[in-house]
Amino acid sequence: MDVKLKISLFVFSIILFIITTSILKKGRIPIKYSLLWYFFAIIILLTSVFPNFFSWIASIVGFEVMSNLIIAIFIGLLIFLTMALTIMVAGQNKKTILLIQELSIVKKELEEKSKNK
């Protein structure tokens, strides 16, 4: 593997690590969401430190070039992440709808009570 690519990947993983840690420090995301980003950073780091291991895996799985394997892994992870986010958004949406409905009903009843006074 090209030394330049190794260095780029290494730097990239450090940056990702720093960003995740700083977001976490400010308390903007809970720990459980940060784990996935650390996982990303670690995988990138591993590819830059042990390229031989990954080119061995690439040859087993059928990729001609190791960089393709890395790209494929990331696309896979991103698809997984997007799906998880879709499920989360749908869940949030359900909760928001419930809140709006119940609140609107309560508001109507309150207004009626104050009118009758």
Partner 1 sequence: MDKVLLIIPAYNEEKNILRTYEEIVNYNKHSKEKYDVIVINDGSKDKTKEILEKNNIPHINLLQNLGIGGAVQTGYKFAFYNDYDIAVQFDGDGQHDINYVKNIITPIINKKCDLVIGSRYIDKETSSFKSTKARQIGINIISKFIKIATRKKIYDTTSGFRACNKKIIESFAKNYPVEYPEPITTTEILKQGYKIEEVPVNMKERLGGKSSIRAWKNFYYMINVCLSILMISIRRYKDGR
Q: Where are the alpha helices (DSSP H) in the chain?
A: 3-25, 31-49, 51-61, 66-116
User: Could you give phi then psi for residue 65, rounded to 5 degrees?
Assistant: -115, 140
Would you say 49 and 56 are in contact if contact means Cβ atoms under 8 Å apart?
no
Distance separating alpha carbons of residues 76 and 6, to the nearest angstrom = 21
Among 57, 83, 103, 110, binds partner 1 (CB under 8 A): 103
82 touches partner 1 (CB under 8 A):
no
Among 19, 65, 84, 97, binds partner 1 (CB under 8 A): 97
83 touches partner 1 (CB under 8 A):
no
Stretch that binds partner 1, among 38-46, 52-60, 74-82, 96-104 (CB under 8 A): 96-104
Would you say 81 and 33 are in contact if contact means Cβ atoms under 8 Å apart?
no
75 touches partner 1 (CB under 8 A):
no
Nearest distance from C-beta of residue 76 to partner 1, angstroms: 25
86 touches partner 1 (CB under 8 A):
no
102 touches partner 1 (CB under 8 A):
yes
One-letter identity of residue 89: V
Distance separating alpha carbons of residues 1 and 89, to the nearest angstrom = 40
Q: For partner 1, how many residues bind (rule: CB under 8 A)?
A: 10
* Contacts with partner 1, residue ranges (CB under 8 A): 93, 97, 100-105, 107-108
